[in-house]
Structure 1
Amino acid sequence: MPENNVQNVIIAGMSKTVSNYDYSMSELEALVAANNMYAALRIDQGLEKPNPATYFGKGKVVEIKEMGEANDLNIMVINADLTPSQVRNLETETGLQIIDRTGLILEIFGNRARSKEAKLQVKIAQLQYQLPRLRTSMANRLDQQAGAAAGGGGGYTNRGSGETQIELNRRTIQDRISHAKHELKELNKDDEVRRAQRDKAGLPNVALVGYTNAGKSTTMNGLVRLFGKGEDKQVFEKDMLFATLDTSIRQLTFPDNKQLLLSDTVGFVSNLPHNLINAFRSTLSEAARADLLIQVIDYSDPHYKEMMATTETTLKAIGVTDIPMIYAYNKADRTEANYPNVQDDQLIYAAKDEASLQLLTKIIKKKVFKDFVTTTLLIPFSDGDVVAYLNDHANILKTDYLADGTQLKVELNAVDAQRYAHYEVTPA
């Protein structure tokens, strides 16, 4: 049952136009809940194809109007992307506020964005969504926004008497999109500098990907607790869709001094709006640059296979291909499966179980550190800073103190192996 401050709504869909319809409607219900709404009523129709004017058939539109009035409901969320005219016609004929699937997801993202980058990404997607849906009734609000942005100078009202109000509004939105894209481009420059610094360090990059609410942030927090640098590095986690939209990156240091960067990316959902995929492409690029992907899957959900398919589709849409992947089946503690259990690149685990996290760590290390080399270095006593560095950043297998220096049998990454190659002891 909904809480007092939750908005009751109707959810509706067309059963013959969507594959796996019941799953899709369950997902819509979860998205509605993520937007602080409660699906108080569900309406289904089995038409072969939508009505071009009202999406639903005429009889169903009358039924929706009557059901809304009888149950005192004012909003209907539809499990499809509607044309602007379909939204207008449905609102006119039912007296309900109509929100389509993309509009719903944009509302959720708008409410969840916290960082400046995420806010700009969502703003761009929202404005692109609004552009073809302009109405004369939006005129005053957009003019006020434009005027405020221009310092109260009247906005765009003096651009030319030949332009209609809709054209003025369209120009306003296009200018706002351009401005937001420029701001985002400047932020992305800073991100590129930070990314270049990380690349220079030569640390492997591992990215958590997957359907929203599968347990990526919980998994990340568990690994950070074990191998991070403090509790203040925890990322936000909550049992709801799209709990966070920002990519978080943390450095992990293991007992053998091997290090990597772990990133937690925004979660996916089926039919994620193209505008959002494009807007969040820079954020999702952490996955595209990864040396290893960990696809976190909610193993307790009966639709987990569909969620995996959603993840694969979205990764392809953002150009992520040919990157090694571990399939991590999470929330096994909510199932009857034995865990932790691993077979090849598949792990059944529970993100809050330390034994599970240790096994996941073992798999990760086997994948990303496979190119490490074991070598013997003889370092003069005068270069004690090198010995100190290696003790802090490399896996020291053996230490011998000889007359002409410190001899280390050490496991190194490729960058350090090349950097200290001149100390290498040539086998006899």
Structure 2
Amino acid sequence: MQDTQMNERSTNQETPATDIDVVARVLANADSHAGVALFGRGAQALQTSALDDTGHDGDQFDREERAALRRVAGLSTELEDVTEVEYRQLRLENVVLIGVYSQGSLHDAENSLRELAALAETAGAVVLDGLLQRRPHPDPSTYLGKGKAQELAGVVAALGADTVIADTELAPSQRRALEDVVRVKVIDRTAVILDIFSQHAKSREGKAQVELAQLEYLLPRLRGWGESMSRQAGGQVGGTGAGMGSRGPGETKIELDRRRIHTRMAKLRKQIIGFKPAREAKRANRQRNSVPSVAIAGYTNAGKSSLLNRITKAGVLVENALFATLDATVRKSITADGRLYTLADTVGFVRNLPHQLVEAFRSTLEEVADSDVIVHVVDGSHPDPASQLATVRDVIGEVGARDLPEIVVFNKSDLISPDDRLVLRGLEPGAIFASARTGEGIDEVLAAIARLLPDTSIEVELVVPYDRGDLISALHERGRVLSTEYAEDGTRVRARIQPEFESVFEAFAVAPVN
């Protein structure tokens, strides 16, 4: 691993491009993993935390399919000048990352750029360089300062990069202006996340949600290319744009595209709403049978699916990548005292999660809002776990689940040093250290879930005649049998049942305990 080269000087927007005041640069070779590996301890933990022993993860049928979708390294269809042709498809190859930070926020900017490198690698890119510039505010025209944009163009040309990725959401005008300077494709953090989601979505609902988010992102970024996008014609002419009838108001091509996008978005919203009754029916069935639910929430790649597999042998896809699983997975589990509950694995979060995705995946995030307990999984080996905690809690608050009982689990404890454990303990004193890989702390997590699960059952003592074996069977199915004795007058049973079933066994009650 090469060392990160840090060079901080006074920033002056008007200085020539040869005066380097970019405060953080990361140079990497062309190896497919070098771009992430050079971004420090967090990315190194990301590379070393892949599960070597997947026995507790169940059958991983999706692994081969996911591997078959990998992009071919070195295969490029990029032109030398992206502005020469209508080209707006997202094909990430050799990329340069850029970011802007203000005075005193260098540490946060570096962590965000490391995360952007991991996102780019997950999307199929090779990260060649990372640049940070200190400015009070991003330039409203080209994001970077004018001189630094020219310097970026030199770096892109020297490294042979295809794409520049900004660590923020660029305005359409900023993106076009920066493209005019660097002469290669410029995209932002939101476009990368949307690309990853489009690759990993598998269910009908997940694909519809991702497409809706993509269209919402694309709509304000449509741009015209030449006369074909602005030609107006009315009356008899139609396609020629000249002669009699061409003076009608007509409809420009870009307006037609916008109208089609609005129509498609309305259809997708209606389709997503159509999935809601099925989810509510399943949820109502669990509520009718008094089955509490537990939602596993957390930052992306924190180990939520691994934890679900360790507890339930669910066989959910586990991969050392960001946003490897998007669709909610629900599995049942049982506490040590015999109470049934469900575990739901939800989509991961990330800092600066695009608001389009939060809105599109709101139906999926309902699993968190409608749960009884939240298991908040944090990557304990991450260099900035405090930001992970804050980011996830912000999103949980947005979906109305801020007041639910929360169990904080620092996962990947096998990668945490004793000194880091002390720091994490100070950050969250009541947290549990666990490892989905080794099994450390799993019993403690299950005990905490059992302790926080709501228990509205009442304890009763019954004497059931021997000819009513159906009632004994119902007790085992709908309640928890605590003890059983056989007497002359029938089977004496102590059990806990839900209040709505009390009337069924009322005739056989000896004395309700509470």
Q: TM-score, normalised by structure 2?
A: 0.73
Cross-structure match for 2:398 = 317
Cross-structure match for 2:65 = none
CA contact (8 A) 1:257 1:392 kept: no
Distance in 1 (CA, whole Å) between partners of 2:503 and 2:112 is: 52
Cross-structure match for 1:194 = 282
Cross-structure match for 1:148 = none
**Runs of 4+ with deviation above 6 angstroms:** 138-141
Q: Which of 325, 344, 358 is residue 277 of structure 1 equivalent to?
A: 358
Question: 1:424 Cα shift?
Answer: 2.8
Question: 1:413 Cα shift?
Answer: 4.4
Q: SS at the partner of 1:122?
A: helix
Q: Identical aligned pairs, as a percentage?
A: 34
Cross-structure match for 2:438 = 353
CA contact (8 A) 1:139 1:165 kept: no
Distance in 2 (CA, whole Å) between partners of 1:336 and 1:371 is: 41
Distance in 2 (CA, whole Å) between partners of 1:301 and 1:192 is: 36
Alignment of 1:145-294 (within 5 A): 162-225=250-313, 233-254=314-335, 256-294=337-375
Question: 1:346 Cα shift?
Answer: 2.1
Alignment of 1:328-343 (within 5 A): 328-337=409-418
Amino acid at match of 1:358: D
Question: 1:138 Cα shift?
Answer: 10
Q: Which of 125, 145, 162 is residue 37 of structure 1 equivalent to?
A: 125
Q: SS at the partner of 1:381?
A: coil
> Of the two structures, which has the highest relative contact order with CA contacts closer than 8 Å and spacing of 6 or more?
2
Distance in 1 (CA, whole Å) between partners of 2:380 and 2:504 is: 44
Judged with a 3 Å threshold, the aligned counterparts in structure 2 of structure 1 residues 264 and 416 are, in CA distance, closer, same or farther, namely farther
Judged with a 3 Å threshold, the aligned counterparts in structure 2 of structure 1 residues 409 and 175 are, in CA distance, closer, same or farther, namely same
31-40 vs 267-276, which deviates more? 31-40
Amino acid at match of 1:198: R
Q: SS at the partner of 2:468?
A: helix
Q: Does 1:302 align with 2:383?
A: yes
Count of matched residue pairs: 402
Amino acid at match of 2:73: N
Judged with a 3 Å threshold, the aligned counterparts in structure 2 of structure 1 residues 162 and 418 are, in CA distance, closer, same or farther, namely farther
Q: SS at the partner of 2:277?
A: helix
Cross-structure match for 1:147 = none
Question: 1:187 Cα shift?
Answer: 1.5
20-29 vs 370-379, which deviates more? 370-379
Cross-structure match for 2:60 = none
Cross-structure match for 1:388 = 473
Cross-structure match for 1:123 = 211
Distance in 2 (CA, whole Å) between partners of 1:14 and 1:354 is: 41
Q: Which of 25, 32, 40 is residue 2 of structure 1 equivalent to?
A: 32
Judged with a 3 Å threshold, the aligned counterparts in structure 2 of structure 1 residues 202 and 243 are, in CA distance, closer, same or farther, namely same
Distance in 1 (CA, whole Å) between partners of 2:221 and 2:481 is: 63
Question: 1:383 Cα shift?
Answer: 2.6
Cross-structure match for 2:102 = 16
CA contact (8 A) 2:335 2:450 kept: no
Judged with a 3 Å threshold, the aligned counterparts in structure 2 of structure 1 residues 12 and 167 are, in CA distance, closer, same or farther, namely same
Distance in 2 (CA, whole Å) between partners of 1:321 and 1:422 is: 43
Question: 1:80 Cα shift?
Answer: 0.9
Q: Does 1:326 align with 2:407?
A: yes
Report the RMSD for the aligned CA atoms in angstroms: 2.6
Q: SS at the partner of 1:382?
A: coil
Q: Which of 476, 485, 488 is residue 400 of structure 1 equivalent to?
A: 485
Distance in 2 (CA, whole Å) between partners of 1:354 and 1:393 is: 31
Cross-structure match for 2:63 = none
CA contact (8 A) 2:305 2:316 kept: yes
Q: SS at the partner of 1:250?
A: strand
Question: 1:189 Cα shift?
Answer: 2.0
Q: Which of 92, 95, 99 is residue 183 of structure 2 equivalent to?
A: 95
The runs of 5 or more residues in structure 1 that have no matched partner are 142-153, 155-159, 226-232
Judged with a 3 Å threshold, the aligned counterparts in structure 2 of structure 1 residues 299 and 419 are, in CA distance, closer, same or farther, namely farther
Structure with greater proportional helix content: 1
Distance in 1 (CA, whole Å) between partners of 2:139 and 2:373 is: 46
409-418 vs 270-279, which deviates more? 409-418
CA contact (8 A) 1:74 1:95 kept: no
Q: SS at the partner of 2:73?
A: coil
Cross-structure match for 2:45 = none
Judged with a 3 Å threshold, the aligned counterparts in structure 2 of structure 1 residues 18 and 262 are, in CA distance, closer, same or farther, namely farther
Distance in 1 (CA, whole Å) between partners of 2:209 and 2:227 is: 24
Distance in 2 (CA, whole Å) between partners of 1:103 and 1:137 is: 21
CA contact (8 A) 2:166 2:189 kept: yes
Distance in 2 (CA, whole Å) between partners of 1:139 and 1:36 is: 35
CA contact (8 A) 1:109 1:245 kept: yes
Amino acid at match of 2:321: M
Judged with a 3 Å threshold, the aligned counterparts in structure 2 of structure 1 residues 421 and 214 are, in CA distance, closer, same or farther, namely farther
Judged with a 3 Å threshold, the aligned counterparts in structure 2 of structure 1 residues 415 and 23 are, in CA distance, closer, same or farther, namely farther
Judged with a 3 Å threshold, the aligned counterparts in structure 2 of structure 1 residues 386 and 25 are, in CA distance, closer, same or farther, namely same
Distance in 2 (CA, whole Å) between partners of 1:56 and 1:416 is: 67
Question: 1:240 Cα shift?
Answer: 1.2
263-272 vs 405-414, which deviates more? 405-414
Q: SS at the partner of 2:482?
A: strand
Judged with a 3 Å threshold, the aligned counterparts in structure 2 of structure 1 residues 427 and 75 are, in CA distance, closer, same or farther, namely closer
Question: 1:381 Cα shift?
Answer: 2.8
Q: Does 1:374 align with 2:496?
A: no
Distance in 2 (CA, whole Å) between partners of 1:256 and 1:418 is: 24
Question: 1:275 Cα shift?
Answer: 0.8
Question: 1:34 Cα shift?
Answer: 1.4
Question: 1:44 Cα shift?
Answer: 1.5
Question: 1:164 Cα shift?
Answer: 1.5
Distance in 2 (CA, whole Å) between partners of 1:419 and 1:170 is: 61
Q: Deviations over 1:97-132 (max 9, x none)?
A: 111111111111111111010000010010010110
Amino acid at match of 1:101: R
Amino acid at match of 2:409: A
Question: 1:255 Cα shift?
Answer: 5.4
Question: 1:369 Cα shift?
Answer: 4.7
Q: Deviations over 1:323-346 (max 9, x none)?
A: 01011111111113489x9x9852
267-276 vs 404-413, which deviates more? 404-413
Distance in 2 (CA, whole Å) between partners of 1:249 and 1:312 is: 21
Q: SS at the partner of 2:287?
A: helix
CA contact (8 A) 1:139 1:166 kept: no
Question: 1:392 Cα shift?
Answer: 4.4
